Structure 1
């Protein structure tokens, strides 16, 4: 057995994310792909992305708007995917480009940001960025752990 350990973090959210994400990866690894086709690889990547998002949002809990919205989207992702597809089709039909303000662009990036006023949007965006940074650090440490 490997005696190496993943570096632990003093941040409780990061520790929760670590354990939940590693459990989700273990579940994904139990289902070994039957082939190495492009579709299988894409499906596996999608499952890892969903596990990553779900782990971070559930580690944060319902304290933040973006995590509540992300958990809701993950719970109802079949209807959410249909909604995204219909929006994408509608966007392709539009020929004209609409110029968005910086605040509107930020609202599109932060889950649940469409209904927030600007000050709450900035607060949620900064927290979301911190959590995304933690996700990147965890995934880097996992990659470093398995690459050596």
Structure 2
């Protein structure tokens, strides 16, 4: 593995840069705030916040890592990505209806499960997958820490 950071080092992302980008995105989301508090509106808002957090983290990392490049590409081409997801959902629903009769489910191997979790992991070899997964996990941990600090700051 050719990682530029040691496994125990924190995410090599500038926390201030991530925070700045994320707070700008939250301000845009708050500007569009609706007065309705229906379940659907709350779900849409939480989804927008999640996308903003992911986009902020990927932007703060830049194109240094494969997972951030893939995530940025997906976010930039969301319309195509949404169409792809819809087609996958439709094909999965068709597959499930066929699988109900078969009763045998194919178990995924651990690397295949990991490939599903890491953005862009589907095309990586195992060593690259482990390297990207460890970096992605460190960055997600940093993201959670920053978001907790923001929530704590605004709640007090």
TM-score tier, shorter chain, comes to 0.7 to 0.9
**5+ residue gaps, structure 2:** 1-11
What's the C-alpha RMSD, in Å, of the aligned pairs?
A: 1.8
User: Deviations 1:59-97 (Å, cap 9, x if unpaired)?
Assistant: 000000000000010011111111112112212222152
Q: TM-score, normalised by structure 1?
A: 0.88
List 4+ stretches of structure 1 deviating above 6 A.
none
SS at match of 2:119: coil
Contact 2:22 2:53 in 1 (8 A): yes
- Of 127, 141, 149, 1:119 maps to 127
**5+ residue gaps, structure 1:** 1-10
Q: Does the alignment pair 1:132 with 2:140?
A: yes
Residues 52 and 122 (structure 1 numbering): CA distance in 2 closer, same or farther, change over 3 Å?
A: same
Q: Which residue in 2 is equivalent to 1:92?
A: 93
* Number of positions where the alignment pairs a residue of Structure 1 with one of Structure 2: 140
Q: Does the alignment pair 1:105 with 2:113?
A: yes
Of stretches 70-79 and 42-51 in structure 1, the one that deviates more from structure 2 is 42-51
Q: TM-score, normalised by structure 2?
A: 0.83
Q: Which residue in 2 is equivalent to 1:5?
A: none
